[in-house]
Structure 1
Amino acid sequence: MSQYLVFQLHGPMASWGVDAPGEVRHSHELPSRSALLGLLAAALGIRRDEEERLNAFNRHYQFLLCASGNPRWARDYHTVQMPKEVRKARYFSRREELQAPELLERADFPTRLLHRTPGG
């Protein structure tokens, strides 16, 4: 008889990263197999440097993923490097200093607002 582990991840602003060339970082709507294996292995106390245990863990599990609801995409911005020092420049705010396009990264990720109706 097969055994199953059923669990839910609730992360209203979770990001499941993909390759990010340039200044835009996108996200998948669902976690990758690697992300799920990492979460489960960590929950079992398997460390990242225990390659043999991780490989055995990886060989014995399969996943079926389901997403509930329609996500709304949110946009966030992150500073990715320090601005170059310009001795002659005078900035009146941090915002003004960060105007150079290579200093910011745009991150888009799905959000799922979780709410409960009265009596639900």
Structure 2
Amino acid sequence: KTVTLTLSRTVATAETVTVSYTKPTGDNVIQDAAGNDAVSFSDQAVTHSTSAADTAAPQLITTGDSRPKVTGNQLVLSFSDTGNLDADATHKPASGAFTVLVNGVANAVTNVSVEP
């Protein structure tokens, strides 16, 4: 069995974490089914399993098989870190964020979709 403590803020990867427990008097104690109370402990080191923050911005891949490609009216852009691209509709770039020129003439972007 486990006890999960919800903290008031997220713990950063570089922070050191310890935990202590002081067995309270009364009934609000950690206890097994036989009624044995957990003993107090202090300054127990905690294993940090929070992943490091992703601080690398996705970069457009411009070479190889993943370089930009157009087929009909679909222009596909591939980015590094594709497993982490945010496909949430609230973060979808506006069509106007892109400028596409065909033979030097603007070809309007009418829709943008992000595939994670």
| TM tier, smaller | under 0.3
TM-score for the superposition, normalised by structure 1: 0.23
Q: Could you say which structure has the greater relative contact order, defined with CA pairs below 8 angstroms and 6 or more residues apart?
A: 1
